[in-house]
Amino acid sequence: MLLAAGLTDINVALVVWTLVTFGLLLIVLKRFAWHPILETIENREKTIAEAIESAKRERAEAEKAAADMRASLEKARTEAAELIRRNQAEVAAAKNELMATARKESESLLAQARASIEEERRAAVADLRAQVVDIAIEAAGRLLQTQMDEKKQRQLVEEYLARLPKERRA
């Protein structure tokens, strides 16, 4: 009986009980599991949608923060370039001022040195004139004391000059 059944034979009682069991399973699942499963799926969809919206907001905020950061960085670069330019201008102005001051001081020192040299030259010329006058007066006095020919007079002056101290001749 049952042993002789083949693969192609349909057992109606088995089919009915299978359909009844499947129907009961569907009713039980619909009553107890279908709503919690749907709620879980809906909650998951809401969570995913909120996560996507949150990610979009955070991305927009991050892009805004990045743009602000780039603007701040560019502003800082501009300010740094301006500071460098101002510092270079101040350094150049200070350098020019120092150069002008040094030039004035060197010109002043040079003028003082020239004045000092001129004063010393005048004093030396005056001293030399005085010595020449003394020598000429003394030589004239000696020449007057002795009447000599020109050769003798020259010899006398040369001897006198040779006897003078070296400092007096200088």
Q: What is the mean pLDDT of residues 148-153?
A: 72
- Residue 31: inside a domain: yes
Look at residue 25 and tell me whether its pLDDT is greater than 50.
yes
For residues 5 and 11, the answer to whether their CB atoms sit within 8 Å is yes
Separation CA 32–CA 107 (nearest Å):
110
- Residue 5: inside a domain: no
Look at residue 58 and tell me whether its pLDDT is greater than 50.
yes
Q: What is the mean pLDDT of residues 82-94?
A: 94
Give residue 5's pLDDT band: very low, low, confident or very high (50, 70, 90).
Answer: low
In angstroms, what CA-CA distances link 67 with 56, 61, 64, 77? Answer: 16, 10, 5, 15
- Residue 139: inside a domain: yes
- Residue 3: inside a domain: no
Name the domain count of the chain.
1
- Residue 141: inside a domain: yes
Q: Which two tokens stand for residue 88?
A: 């270079």
Mean model confidence pLDDT for the chain: 86
- Residue 125: inside a domain: yes
Structural domain boundaries, residue 160: 12-169
Q: What is the pLDDT of residue 108?
A: 93
Give residue 1's pLDDT band: very low, low, confident or very high (50, 70, 90).
Answer: very low
Separation CA 88–CA 96 (nearest Å):
12
